[in-house]
Structure 1
């Protein structure tokens, strides 16, 4: 019988868990996605880079999305049991709350290991990849240096302007090219200017050069400033372009966001600078707390899931999300204060954890007592507040209606 109960709980938890995990991740990246679109468009980069950048940022958001998903998965499953009176039936046949925590703890352990891998190793690597993409966009390594309708300096005295770009840059329309040669013996170098109806970039065997193939255009060649320019019409003309030298991106490890857990631990032990050691300690302890908090979620989710008798209030769902997000912000603030040296980095993380632990265990202890209602008082206060607000709103509506009737009668 107990195995059937475990399988039943597993099925109830896993669907809302993954559903809320996906929704939470999408909501967390939505705001960043809009800003990334603005950044990529302003830099003139391809839109596909946005999805690569979001993919590299996803592990960072999953460090909060996973705890929210696990907690809501457990909470919604037990709320369904409570609302359908199945929970009362299980308690009546001798299945205790502690026994029912077996499956939630299984999920908590699995996702604690997943979160440990994400915040410990995956998140630093993907953060470095994200910064690398930003660097390549700004340096033009992704083709972001040529913008439609603007004059682009390609280096070496070469200027290019494109009126229209089709097929993601494969088909260029309305081109203007000006190439100025280097001056010799105090004289201006030769100048070549061309306009073309169409053009495209082609790769060459030399990695330092690309070929700009122009079609259906006019070329103006001036050997010097004093010489008479020559005008030629062409059906096709190939212009070699030397690629500008791109600066190489730095190595991974700038700041604690790009450091793995072993690297942070090594910095804590070997660093001679107090500020560097304090910063590494703050980041290390916060990441450990982000993983350990997973084991407290069942103790918080189950009491918040069980509404008071004869009540269908979803106040527990709302309060549990607020509690978890508040804890996340407290640890984030504690990491900053610990880095600045205003708070001890260890206490800044583990004191909020101890408070969260005490709250979760107290709520679960109240639930285990006969007739225990952990959020009963809060639900009653919330009902009184909503009743007062709705009554006040009703009075305002009636008063406004009375004023309108008086004005219309007058």
Structure 2
């Protein structure tokens, strides 16, 4: 900041505050929306609640990849709108500071965030996406451990069922226990105990369930009558079920989101794809990531073009239009990626043609503002929105009179 002029410092401060606020707000909203569904999924899967925070941490790079372009757009747009509405923009242009000069700081932010977003979508997000899917697999398979449900029959393995009345100390101390277990020799054990706890052993595939003060019934084809036993302490070994190993990252052909940019490039044009379908999927995903990142170089121009309202107008229509354009372009890219994956359109054409058309529109809007005296690209939109609003306000009294007459 020491080497920047006063104008650059002022613009940098005006851009930074809404940019960071938008990033934090967008990430918080997306996390809260996902958190409730993750809590429901983890609890229904019988896993520890702490895994929710690990899953959310793996989702944060994806949320930031979506939030960074919108944050940059709103940061630059709100900063230049403030300059325009307060007439500071006219004063700056009057002393010779054109839009090219004023865009130095926004483009410094854009280049820095572009590199950050490229690292996120190219290298970080594939690993965190894989980590998220691995946690989902571990929950379903029971590799993360099951939480015991009080008052219900918990099946810890095919041959071990447990019910408890009360749990203390995060499940390390259990009370009011009923156990039913079978072993490989056909012996069945049913036991009740006042207290119990799980203990680890040297064998990672076996744990001990130590019961205190209870009764036990043992039944087998070898016994003429069931055997009963009263005990003060009894160790019941439990063989843990075998858990399947999760696949390697990117092993599934349809998991292109788990591949880094160099891996996608190798599959797309290096001949390492397993088949033509895998090559199309890799090419589509590669160009989807590239156009999403390249779009950030156009965002400062779009933000400035939408930030300056017509004279004697303080309308915020440009903010709405900007968000709609960025979100619509992202959805169009998602559709184009799907079309390229299915082979309906060449991935390069499906993704780069909309980018070039969108870039031409943004450059035209910026040149209209920067080179034409009094030119505001959203002026016609604001006039149309004003006419629609006036028509709606004119119809409301008419609807009120008709409602009163009908009553």
TM-score normalised by the shorter chain: which range applies?
over 0.9
1:260 is aligned to: 260
**What pairs with 1:62-211 in structure 2 (closer than 5 Å)?**
62-144=64-146, 146-155=148-157, 157-183=159-185, 189-211=186-208
Alpha-carbon displacement from aligned partner over 1:289-322 (angstroms, at most 9, x marks no partner): 1111110000000111111111111100000000
CA drift of 1:401 comes to 4.3
CA drift of 1:146 comes to 4.7
- Give the alignment partner of residue 323 of structure 2, picking from 321, 324, 330: 321
**What pairs with 1:206-245 in structure 2 (closer than 5 Å)?**
206-224=203-221, 227-245=224-242
Structure 1: which 5+ residue stretches go unaligned? 184-188, 405-410
Contact kept? 2:48, 2:147, Cα under 8 Å: no
- Summarize the Cα distance change of 1:230–1:294 in structure 2 as closer, same or farther, 3 Å threshold: same
- Summarize the Cα distance change of 1:215–1:388 in structure 2 as closer, same or farther, 3 Å threshold: farther
- Give the alignment partner of residue 277 of structure 1, picking from 266, 276, 279: 279
Contact kept? 2:148, 2:171, Cα under 8 Å: no
Query: Which secondary structure state, in structure 2, belongs to the residue aligned with residue 205 of structure 1?
Result: coil
Contact kept? 1:63, 1:290, Cα under 8 Å: no
Query: Which secondary structure state, in structure 1, belongs to the residue aligned with residue 225 of structure 2?
Result: coil
CA drift of 1:380 comes to 1.0
Distance 2:195 2:317 in 1: 64
Structure 2: which 5+ residue stretches go unaligned? none
Distance 2:73 2:276 in 1: 38
Alpha-carbon displacement from aligned partner over 1:116-166 (angstroms, at most 9, x marks no partner): 000000011011101100110001111137544443343463222234444
Give the CA RMSD over aligned residues.
Answer: 2.0
2:366 is aligned to: 364
1:408 is aligned to: none
- Greater displacement, 235-244 / 106-115: 235-244
Contact kept? 2:189, 2:216, Cα under 8 Å: yes
Q: Tell whether 2:330 aligns with 1:336.
A: no
Distance 1:175 1:229 in 2: 20
Q: Tell whether 2:391 aligns with 1:394.
A: no
Distance 1:373 1:156 in 2: 71
Q: Tell whether 2:380 aligns with 1:383.
A: no
Distance 2:84 2:388 in 1: 25
Distance 1:39 1:11 in 2: 42
Contact kept? 1:164, 1:172, Cα under 8 Å: yes
1:4 is aligned to: 6
- Summarize the Cα distance change of 1:2–1:142 in structure 2 as closer, same or farther, 3 Å threshold: closer
